[in-house]
Amino acid sequence: MTVFNPDARVQLVLGTQWGDEGKGKIVDLLGEQHDVVARFQGGPNAGHTVQIEGEQFILHHIPSGILHDHTICVIGNGMVVDPETILTEIEELEDRGFEVCGRLLISENAHLILPYHKIIDKASEGFKEDAKIGTTGCGIGPAYADKIRREGFRAGDLLTRDWEARLREKVRINNLVLERVYGEPPVDAEDVIGLLLRFMDRLSASIADTMHYMQACLREKKRILLEGAQGTLLDIDFGTYPFVTSSNTTIGGVSTGLGIAPQRIDHTLGILKAYTTRVGNGPFPTELAGDFGDRLREMGGEYGATTGRPRRCGWLDLVAAKYAVQLNGVDSLCITKLDVLDTLDEIRICTAYDVQGDRTGEFPVSGEKLESVRPVYETVPGWKTRISSLTAYGDLPDAARAYLDRISDLLGIPVRIVSVGAGREQTIIL
């Protein structure tokens, strides 16, 4: 595979929609040319799917670079780590022949998702009448809430002398919340300690000061790939709040979640799926309800990699994508799943919104306003040809190239990669 952007030592890959853009495949692909692959936010809510020679891998915590023998994978301080899930993830990778622990670093400042966080996540959703977020139920929100309330428990705490006593106290307080607020049975502190001892048994040597590690990598001019999770529109600050995740999925998350200064990022690659999906609740202007949306879901295999939930599907929304490009300073684009549109007669692109009679190209930050917008579409012809075996841009049908060119023109940045299937080889580098 041709080396992508050889001048960039530090590259960021992030999602420009509501997640599930296909970042895992691209990080795996680019990982080959990098020494270090690091994640900076989120946790097991992510489900990064990589397919190698017909075999599928779904990664939740561990950076998608792990599938290349030479890369060091870093879980930054901005992530939340579920000891139970990560142990399973490691075991599954080891069973399939990958060496993990010796190549994995976990920030000592990364917060842990403890069993009560998962119970609270699910129970609090059950309490809501009409504003359920539709979380992944992985305990993400409650773990980040504890971090912000300064009541979290970090990986590095496990390296201190009296951690068991402090953990018992946290479990005691959270059990009160579980019982009195949610009517849920308490968690057994000794079970939690047992889980963390198993975590330490496998991973104590991986817990590290990853900020200084990343700084050393920068000094040594190592090639670093930064792997975003979820997508721009799920960002806690810039997303469609409250229907968002609990971390900064946008470029700022790299600095706060890994300790890398913004100006050290040489290139930001935005991943844009050729149509739009969203899992969970919240506004989605270009959503296709009904048969056609169902057909798109089946054509694209749009079911959650973490929860198996059906994803909501719709046309490509370039108003939202423009917002993501601006927010993240995206330098170039990777268009994924272009082949899913192969059979369509015509394709629609949302180029503007009508908001109470006014036309705008600006993505509204208010959720209420976003609920009421009407998308304005441009219709382009489909290519009606199977493209998933093509490897050169020049071989793509004219209509497919016209679709890509239109996206590039409207967003004002070049398309550098086109993905036409799940396999590593089903990728066109421009």
Residues within the interface to ligand IMP (CB under 6 A): 19-20, 45-47, 133-136, 138, 140-141, 229-230, 234, 243, 245-246, 279-280
Catalytic residue among 28, 34, 48, 121: 48
Minimum CB separation from ligand IMP for residue 255, in Å? Answer: 21
Cβ closest to ligand IMP, residue 174 vs residue 351: 174
Nearest-approach distance from CB 209 to ligand IMP, in angstroms: 27
d(Cα 317, Cα 419) in Å, to the nearest integer?
Answer: 18
Closer residue to ligand IMP (CB): 274 or 400: 274
Indicate the angle between helix axes 140-148 and 115-127, nearest 10 degrees.
Answer: 110
CA distance 303 to 307: 8
Least distance to ligand IMP, CB of residue 425, Å:
25
At closest approach, how far in Å is the CB of 8 from ligand IMP? 25
- In the bound state with ligand IMP, the residue whose beta carbon lies nearer, of 141 and 364, is 141
Please say which residue, 27 or 234, places its beta carbon nearer to ligand IMP.
Answer: 234
Q: Among 275, 273, 279, 272, which Cα is nearest to 311's?
A: 279
The C-alpha atoms of residue 162 and residue 226 are separated, in whole angstroms, by 34
Question: Considering beta carbons, is residue 18 or 315 the nearer one to ligand IMP?
Answer: 18
Nearest distance, CB of residue 399 and ligand IMP, angstroms: 29
- Is 20 assigned a catalytic role? yes
Cβ atoms of 138 and 82 within 8 Å: the answer is yes
Q: Give the list of residues 6+ apart from residue 246 with CB closer than 8 angstroms, or none.
A: 140, 141, 143, 144, 145, 236
- Report the distance separating Cα 57 and Cα 392, nearest Å: 26
Active site residue 395: no
H-helix or E-strand containing 147? helix 140-148
Q: Which residues are catalytic?
A: 20, 48
